[in-house]
Amino acid sequence: MMNTGEAIIRDINTNTDFEVRSLDEMSFNESTLQHPWWYNLKYLVAGILFGIILVKSEVISWFRIQEMFRLESFHMYGVIGSAVVTGMISIFLIKRFNIKTAYGEKIKFYPKKFHKGQIYGGLIFGFGWALTGACPGPLFALIGTGALVIIIALLSAIAGTWVYGLLKDKLPH
Amino acid sequence: MIEFLKQPWPWYVAGPLIGLMVPALLILGNKTFGVSSSLRHICAACVPFDISYFNYQWKKETWNLFFVGGILAGAFLATTFLLNGQPVNINPNLVTELGKYGITDYHSQVPMQLFNWQQLFTIKGFILIVAGGFLVGFGTRYAGGCTSGHSIMGLSNLQMPSLIATICFMAGGFIMANLILPFILKM
């Protein structure tokens, strides 16, 4: 009796979890392997490299973002364009040669579903991008560069995410 | 070597390196490149209340929080050890335009004359920092991703919704930067 009850509760939890997450394509947990916490340190290292690249390429510069939106420089388009081409070739090779993860798991890809949020949310994010000169990655990076007032922008972005979560069912999707 | 690293990296060096984050995260542990979902995990960890959108097993996603922590640390390291102190070299037209609004300091990644603690309490600073940040957080979650998740990961995986999202990111940016921002900077 106890066991059945627990199983049902566990089932409900996993199902809800799946439903909630399946609505948000960016939040899948692809790996089914369980690792101790320090396995996450490799993502810290990946983040450090990404942070260095963001600073050195000047893509976190508010000035570079303004240039991009005024079509006054090729720099940002070159960075994003060549990043996409590199990513495309990488994913093609992973699929073509069935490359596995470092732990031998199959690498999974999830198709994204279209919904109106990509239009409305996309435009809203674009407004914010041109104001702060930063998308989410650069918000973290800018704090690292010593622009400490960006901590407020990051907290505000977290608040924005929270308000989205609150209003989600009332918004057109 | 170190002198070379201290120069700004050209787009054809930086872009492919950013693109390599996609296979690196996939191979390290089947992780999809993306930053904005970290904001959701922070909400889920700190202020979930009874909102269903924030009640999920965020602990499974801690890799993403390590990743953004790394971004912050990496930016600190690059700023401390890998910059040559030269101002960002931007289009002279933009220098002229921003000069009209009193923006003349190009030594930081953000115009320090706008992004500082005193400005935060002015209408202009509030719009740029607080309202801007809010729109970034709200918009990326509504769109289901940001520049990394949609424009780089999504486009690399040939996803049409990501192309639509990216076009809207750019359209929103063009409208704000060219049509609205000039009025805000005049304040």
Query: C-alpha distances in angstroms, B131 versus A52, A55, B37, B127, B184?
Result: 27, 24, 19, 5, 12
Is A120 part of the contact surface with chain B (CB cutoff 8 Å)? yes
Region A115-139 average pLDDT:
97
How many residues make up chain A in this entry? 173
Region B112-126 average pLDDT:
96
- In angstroms, what separates the C-alpha of B88 from chain A's closest C-alpha? 8
Q: Are A73 and B77 a contacting pair at CB < 8 A?
A: no
Residue type at B53 in one-letter notation:
Y
Q: Tell me how far apart the alpha carbons of residues B171 and B150 are, in angstroms, rounded to a whole number.
A: 15
Tell me how crowded residue A162 is: count the other CB atoms within 10 A of its CB: 25
Greater confidence, A30 or B164?
Answer: B164
Q: Are A26 and B73 a contacting pair at CB < 8 A?
A: no
- Nearest alpha carbon to residue B175 among A102, A3, A127, A42: A127
pLDDT tops 50 at residue A128? yes
Contact between B25 and B32 (Cβ < 8 Å): yes
Q: Tell me how far apart the alpha carbons of residues A92 and B22 are, in angstroms, rounded to a whole number.
A: 12
Q: What is the structure's pLDDT at A14?
A: 44
Phi, psi of B90 (to 5 degrees): -110, 170
Tens digit of each residue's pLDDT (9 = 90 or more) over B8-49: 999 999 999 999 999 999 999 999 999 999 999 999 999 999
Q: Are B134 and A166 a contacting pair at CB < 8 A?
A: no
Q: Are A50 and B146 a contacting pair at CB < 8 A?
A: no
Give the whole-number percent of chain A exceeding pLDDT 70: 82
Exposure letters A63-88 (e unless 16+ CB within 10 A, then b): bbbbbbbbebbebbebbbbbbbebbb
Cβ-in-10-Å burial (0-12, 13-18, 19+) of B123 comes to exposed
Across A4-13, A101-110, A148-157, B51-60, which has the greatest mean pLDDT? A148-157
**pLDDT-based confidence at residue B65 (cuts at 50, 70, 90):** very high
Tens digit of each residue's pLDDT (9 = 90 or more) over A49-96: 999 999 999 999 999 999 999 999 999 999 999 999 999 999 999 999
Give residue for tokens 């989205």: A164
Hey, is B144 helix, strand or coil? coil
Contact between B44 and B157 (Cβ < 8 Å): no
Q: What is the structure's pLDDT at B2?
A: 81
Test the B interface: residue of A129, A148, A150, A151 with most B CBs within 10 Å = A129
Q: Are A91 and B22 a contacting pair at CB < 8 A?
A: yes
Geometric angle at alpha carbon A54, from A49 and A60, rounded to 5°: 155
**pLDDT-based confidence at residue B90 (cuts at 50, 70, 90):** very high
Q: What is the structure's pLDDT at A19?
A: 38
Tens digit of each residue's pLDDT (9 = 90 or more) over A13-26: 444 443 344 445 44
Phi, psi of B85 (to 5 degrees): 80, 5
pTM of the model: 0.91
